[in-house]
Amino acid sequence: MLPFARVAIVGLGLIGSSIAHAVRAQMPTVRLTGHDADPAVRARARALDLADDIADTAGAAVTDADLVILCVPVGAMRDVAEALAADLPADCVVSDVGSCKGSVAAAFAEMLPGVTVVPAHPVAGTERSGPDAGFATLFHRRWCILTPAGDADPAAVMRVSTFWERLGADVEIMDARHHDLVLAVTSHLPHLIAYTIVGTASDLEEVTESEVIKYSAGGFRDFTRIAASDPTMWRDVFLSNKEAVLEMLQRFSEDLTVLQRAIRWGDGDALFDLFTRTRAVRRSIIEHGQDDPRPDFGREHI
C-alpha cells in the first residue's frame, strides 16, 4: 500500500532531488511532478529525468498531487505556499523539509488555512547543493522529524510517516518548539561555529590563507565541509530560529570562556576531564548508527 500515489516536489535542490531519486527507487509507481523557481534548475531536472513532469509553475506541479513537499529555504516557504495555494487539490497533504519548524508552521497557517499540513524535517544532507547533488540513499538510517500541530489529522500524519519510512528513514514525532531547540544544538549551532572559524582563519595577517589550506588536515578541514553548505538555506535558518540559536550560542560562549580560563591558568585536569567525556559522545553516535564507524569518517588514505 503506497501512502501517496501522486507526489509533487517544489524546490529541486539537494533535498528535493534526493526525494525524487528515493521515490523512484522505493515507490516506482508513484506519479512524480516537480518544480523549481529557477529555470536553469528546471532544465537540469528535466535532463536528469528527476520526475515524470517538471512544471514551469508551482501551481501546475501540485494541481493533481495527493502529497506536496516544499523543499525550499525556510525563508521562502511563505511565498511558495502562497503561490501554490489556489491550485492545491482539496484532499492533498502539504509537507516540507525545512530545518526550522516554528516559522514554517506560522507561514503555512497564514497561507494555507484549512489545508492538511504535516511539517517534516529529514535530518540528513551533504555540503552539496542543487539538482545534481541528490541521491536515493540520503535518508537511509537517518531520522525524519514530523511536527504536526496538536489538532492535525492522525491519518495524514501516519501517511507522511509511512512515506518517510519507505524512503529509508526512521520517523519521530515532536512538538515544533522542541524541534527548534534540539536542532539549534545538533545542527544550527555547529553550522554557525563552523562558518565563524572558517571566517576567522581566512582573515589572519600573520598566517596566510595558503598556509591555512595546506595544513588544514590538522582538524580545520573538518569544519570547512559544513561551512560549504548552501548560504541561502543557512541564512534563513539563523533568521528563522533566532531565539533558540542565540540561547545555544550563549551557552557555548560561556563554556568556551571556562576552557579559555583553564588554558590560561594551566589547569590540565579540567581539560583532560572534558576531553575524556566528549570522547564517549562519539562512541554513542557510532553505536546508534548515526555516523560512519570507520576512522576519519571513512576518508580515503591512499
Tell me the sheet residues that pair with 67: 7, 93
Contact 138, 212 (CB under 8 A): no
Least Å distance between CB 219 and its own copies?
4
Nearer to its own copies, 23 or 92 (CB): 23
Least Å distance between CB 259 and its own copies?
6
E strands in the chain: 6-10, 31-35, 53-54, 67-70, 93-96, 116-117, 120-122, 143-146, 170-173
Least Å distance between CB 215 and its own copies?
4
Q: From residue 172, give the alpha-carbon distance in Å to each of 20, 105, 122, 215.
A: 22, 17, 10, 40
Nearer to its own copies, 12 or 245 (CB): 245
Nearer to its own copies, 49 or 268 (CB): 268
Q: From residue 83, give the alpha-carbon distance in Å to each of 73, 105, 113.
A: 15, 16, 14
CA-angle at 80, arms to 79 and 84, nearest 5°: 120
Provide the 10 A C-beta neighbour count for residue 282.
Answer: 10
Nearer to its own copies, 52 or 298 (CB): 298
Least Å distance between CB 90 and its own copies?
34
Contact 157, 185 (CB under 8 A): no
Beta strands 120-122 and 143-146, pairing class: antiparallel
Nearer to its own copies, 115 or 270 (CB): 270
Nearer to its own copies, 40 or 199 (CB): 199
Least Å distance between CB 78 and its own copies?
15
Least Å distance between CB 106 and its own copies?
16
What does the block give as the cell for 104? 514554517
How many residues make up the chain in this entry?
302
Nearer to its own copies, 158 or 193 (CB): 193
Provide the 10 A C-beta neighbour count for residue 169.
Answer: 23
Least Å distance between CB 31 and its own copies?
26
Least Å distance between CB 56 and its own copies?
27
What is the secondary structure of 61-91 as a DSSP string? Answer: HHTT-SEEEE-S-GGGHHHHHHHHGGG--TT
Nearer to its own copies, 52 or 141 (CB): 141
